[in-house]
Structure 1
Amino acid sequence: MRVKKRSRHRKAVKFYSTCFGFREPYKVLVDGTFVHHLLVHRLLPADDAIREILSASRTTPLFTSKCVLAELRRLGKSHAEDFDAAQLLATASCEHDKVVTAVDCILSLVGDKNPEHYFVATQDSDLREKLREVPGVPVIYGLKNSLFIEQPSVQQRKFAQLDEEKRIHMEKSEFKKLLKASSEGKASGDVNAPGVAEKSKFKRNRAKGPNPLSCKKKKPKPQPSDGQNQGPTADGEAKRKRVRKRKRSGKDRDQAETIS
């Protein structure tokens, strides 16, 4: 069961990182219900528990908002102290002049496309249902002493598929610009005009052929004719033989003189 659970979580994180550009360190936006669940089931420290289900190599920062803290203070001092016990690291700027509910504040932080790439951790079923309709918002929730990542909803998968098709296909405006640039390039005859393929500046090192000189056939050596072997040439001149003279030392000269 643990292996299957971990593989499902990794697939969900990979889906959001591939289709919506989530990168480490991941940001997790939590509300009061989720922090209360962590404290009741002793899933502390909270950042380590969430980092484990996200299979993150870095420390995962946890965020909350001023409106969420204000709502908890109204409920009681003990609820507000839950965030200190859970070791939250930062506070997201919600930019609300008046304090709103935690659900409205989190929805405003997420927006239409979740530009800050938040993982939203909550136990509120109504908030989780609303977040399923927003593309690119992964939801984390707790079940007893375990944490889970919701699998991408049907709306999120459809949005990712449509976005991928848009990136593959060219829009009409881009196609018109390309045609206009290519027509201007042909009319001017400029090689460097837009729309005309430029020649590469650097040549690739390709495999060279063999040396043509080494491929030539060797010429046979001319053999001497019979007339040349007999000695005298056609002009009647005999070849001069090279006579090597031996240099004699001093002892040889004395012996030669005595003999003579």
Structure 2
Amino acid sequence: MRVRKQRRQRKAVRFYTACFGFRQPFRVLCDGTFVHHLVVNKIAPADKALSDILSAPVKLYTTRCVHNELRRLGDSHAHSLDAIKHLAIARCDHEGKMKADCCILEIIGEKNPEHFFVATQDTDLRRKLLQIPGVPAIYGLRNALFLEQPSTSQRQFVKTSEEGRLHMTGLEHKMLKKRTANILGAKESKDSSDEQEDFGEQYLESSAVTKPQAVKKEIGVKDKVQFKRKKAKGPNPLSCLKKKTHENSKPSSEKERKDGDGTIRSRGRKRKRSRKGKTSSDTAN
């Protein structure tokens, strides 16, 4: 049972954070009846008990009107008055002259801009708060605290607001219609300008074709660009060397000549003979 309770409370907290923008640490606005319930049932510390319910850190607030209401109740609520003095004061302009429930309803307003969780034991006040979108209510039962589940009106408000965000408003529809008209007008003007350019190009081409050739010759305009063909040139004479001639390409010691029937062989090179021996013999004689 305890697990199911925690699961429901976490689901309710996610609903308010996702749909109405509640952020941690959560702000809890307490009235005198809730503080008196905490004191009687010895639920302390109060911030720890509330943070366990919401699964997040909390900061507790009250108003001066709640202070004055507890003070008027006398000694039976003296301990509750001492306990509520430790809470932060939410600003109100009533100076303690208004009833606590009316003060809280005025602080919450129509949209709960401060994102308060309201903790109260007043069933009528809780019923009124649950009719306002984005106002979660907390109450106590003996020594346990509970978070009210989102009411049908709050869920319906979220559903209608989501559907409204999906559809265009009247102003957005007018802006879209105006923008589409501007785009279509720009496109039509562009198409007409393109047609005029095409017509002008066709006119220039036809006039260029019908011009007589005599006028072109007088002006010196040629129909086609004439390029000079490059002729093949001879080799560079400086780069060409004379061919070397080899007299004895095939050196041979003997040459053959044919003359009539026989062959005469002639030696191409005469052998030099040394005359050292002859000179020596001549000197001896």
TM-score computed with the length of structure 2 as normaliser: 0.62
**Residue matched to 2:119:** 121
List alignment gaps of at least 5 residues for structure 1: 190-260
2:195 matched residue in structure 1: none
Checking the alignment, whether the CA contact within 8 Å between 1:39 and 1:86 is kept in structure 2 is: no
Kindly provide the amino acid, as one letter, of the partner of residue 181 in structure 1: R
Distance 1:31 1:68 in 2: 6
Equivalent of residue 159 in structure 1, options 157, 160, 163: 157
Amino acid at match of 1:104: C
Q: Which amino acid aligns with 2:113?
A: P
Among 181, 184, 190, the alignment partner of 1:183 is 181
Q: Secondary structure at the match of 1:142?
A: strand
CA distance in structure 2 between the aligned counterparts of 1:38 and 1:86, rounded to whole angstroms: 11
Alignment of 1:7-86 (within 5 A): 7-56=7-56, 58=57, 60-76=58-74, 79=77, 81-85=79-83
Q: Provide closer, same or farther for how the CA distance between residues 83 and 180 of structure 1 changes in structure 2, counting only shifts above 3 A.
A: farther
Q: After the TM superposition, which of the residue ranges 6-15 and 171-180 deviates more from structure 2?
A: 171-180
The 1-side partners of 2:59 and 2:172 are apart by 41
In structure 2, which of residues 167, 171, 174 is the aligned counterpart of residue 173 of structure 1? 171
In 2, the alpha carbon distance for the partners of 1:86 and 1:70 equals: 11
Separation of aligned partners in 2, 1:47 and 1:10:
17
- The 8 Å contact of residues 65 and 91 in structure 1, kept in 2 or not, is answered as yes
Spell out, residue by residue over 1:79-128, the C-alpha distance to the aligned partner (whole angstroms, 9 max, x if none): 35525436743100111256110110011011111111110000011111
What letter corresponds to residue 52 of structure 2 in structure 1? E
Aligned-pair distance for 1:64? 0.4
Matched position secondary structure for 2:145: strand
In structure 2, the CA distance between the partners of 1:87 and 1:52, relative to structure 1 (3 Å rule), is: farther
The whole-number CA distance in structure 2 between the counterparts of 1:87 and 1:66 is 10
- 1:88 to 1:98, Cα distance in 2 relative to 1, 3 A: closer
User: 1:67 and 1:80, CA in 2 relative to 1: closer, same or farther beyond 3 A?
Assistant: farther
Aligned mates of 2:36, 2:162 — CA distance in 1: 39
Whole-angstrom distance in 1 between the partners of 2:62 and 2:130: 20
**2-structure distance, mates of 1:167, 1:81:** 49
C-alpha distance in 1 between matches for 2:78 and 2:89: 14
Q: Structure 1 residues 96, 30: CA separation in 2 closer, same or farther (over 3 Å shift)?
A: same
Secondary structure, in 3 states, of the residue corresponding to 1:61?
strand
Q: Distance in 2 between matches of 1:87 and 1:12?
A: 30
Name the aligned partner's letter for residue 26 of structure 1: F
Give 1:90's aligned residue: 88
Deviation readout 1:197-240 (Å, 9 max, x if unpaired): xxxxxxxxxxxxxxxxxxxxxxxxxxxxxxxxxxxxxxxxxxxx
Aligned length: 187
2-structure distance, mates of 1:147, 1:97: 30
Letter in 1 for 2:13: V
- What is the RMSD of the two structures over their aligned residues, measured on CA atoms? 1.8
Q: Is the 8 A contact 1:45 1:86 kept in 2?
A: no
Contact persistence 2:70–2:80 (CA under 8 A):
no
Aligned in 2, Cα 1:177/1:154: closer, same or farther, shift over 3 Å?
same
Runs ≥4 residues deviating over 4 A: none
Of 143, 160, 169, which residue of structure 2 is paired with 1:145?
143
Q: In the alignment, what sits opposite 1:205?
A: none
Q: Output the CA distance in 1 between the equivalents of 2:109 and 2:70.
A: 23
How far residue 37 of structure 1 moved from its aligned partner, in angstroms, is 0.7
The amino acid of 1:158's aligned partner reads Q
| Displacement of 1:168 | 1.3
Cα pair 2:130 2:154 within 8 Å, conserved: yes
- Are the counterparts in 1 of residues 62 and 84 from structure 2 also a CA contact under 8 Å? no
Contact 1:135–1:159 (CA under 8 A) maintained in structure 2: yes
